[in-house]
Amino acid sequence: MDPISYFQAVVLGLVQGVSELFPISSLGHSVVLPALFGWNIHQNDEYFVTFLVATHAATALVLLGFFRADWARIVRGLWRSLQAREIAADDADAKLGWLIVVATIPAGLLGLLLEHPLRSVFASAQTAAIFLFLNGLMLFGAERLRRRAPEHVPEGPRSDIVIAQRLDFRRALGIGTAQALALIPGLSRSGASMSGGLLAGLSNEDAARFAFLLATPIIGAAALLKLPELFGPHGEHVRGQALVAALCAAVTAYFSVRFLLRFFETNRLTPFAVYCTAVGAALAIGFAIT
């Protein structure tokens, strides 16, 4: 029998596309859902890790396509700064590009060094549920920060200019370090990045935008690094399911990013915080009892 059925692939793909961008932890949901439904799938199974790589690659491609015009400006800005060997004071695109580079470094290094150890230590569904609860508490704390953060003014400078003006490289490094929390199942990459952005003084909308831009190279690089495994022994009997899951993840990721960019123009992190604390607590208790 195939280790993952096509029905399971559809469910996991749809959930991954939403939970990767919503601040509710895609990895946490990938761990607790099989245990909740009684599926014989474990986070440390090599075929499952390979399967998840395909869904992450799809999400990264959606983010890259959605922000393609922004990335074109950012890449041109990086090239200008390299040619001039400096970041011009009025070049917001170059500044934003280097902020993303700096913020990517800690998550990338910690991911290479700690991904496997953390995945092994925090592999149980109950542990993931506990960290999902803690993720909700983190979001509640971020919401308190949001109330102190400046509001984004629609008729003001575009978000990239605001982000470049309000963030320095030390704060970008802090946001990147916070993003590395997503290595622990149950803690959200986007939630940690948004929280770090709010702490650095961004509005909720600009913090979400920077979190999505920052997620693109991290998710994409991780997917490219491990995607060859899908065509090796670990991809046996899951390639078709991985393709189906990737397509499902791409669809939900596209609608998720569209929804969230509009949602955070006027709304708060509180609904996601309530969801994570309630679901995390309920699952942790349920797994402990059973």
Residues 227-268: tens digit of each pLDDT: 887 888 777 888 899 999 999 999 999 999 999 988 988 788
Q: For residue 200, what are the domain limits?
A: 6-289
Task: Give the pair of three-digit tokens for residue 289.
Answer: 């009892």
Q: How far is CA 226 from the centre of its chain?
A: 17
Residue with tokens 């859902």: 33
- pLDDT category, 120, cuts 50, 70, 90? low
Q: Mind listing the pLDDT tens digit for each residue in 19-39?
A: 999 999 988 899 899 999 999
Cα–Cα dist 7/117, whole Å: 30
Q: Tell me how many domains the chain contains.
A: 1
Q: What is the mean pLDDT of residues 142-165?
A: 69
pLDDT at 105 over 70: yes
The answer as to whether 80 is a domain residue is: yes
pLDDT of residue 150: 55
State how far Cα 155 lies from the chain centre. 29
Least confident of 7-16, 40-49, 192-201: 40-49
What pLDDT score was predicted for residue 148?
58
CB atoms within 10 A of CB 158: 11
As separate numbers, helices (DSSP H) first and strands (DSSP E) second, the chain gives 12, 0
Which of 41-50, 52-61, 140-149, 196-205 ranks highest by mean pLDDT?
Answer: 52-61
Is residue 180 a part of any domain in this protein? yes
Residue 146's closest CA among 266, 11, 252, 261? Answer: 266
For residues 43 and 125, what is the distance between their CA atoms, to the nearest angstrom?
9
| Sign of the dihedral through C-alpha 167, 186, 108, 221 | negative
Q: Is residue 1 part of a domain?
A: no
What is the structure's pLDDT at 10?
96
Give the pLDDT of residue 116: 67
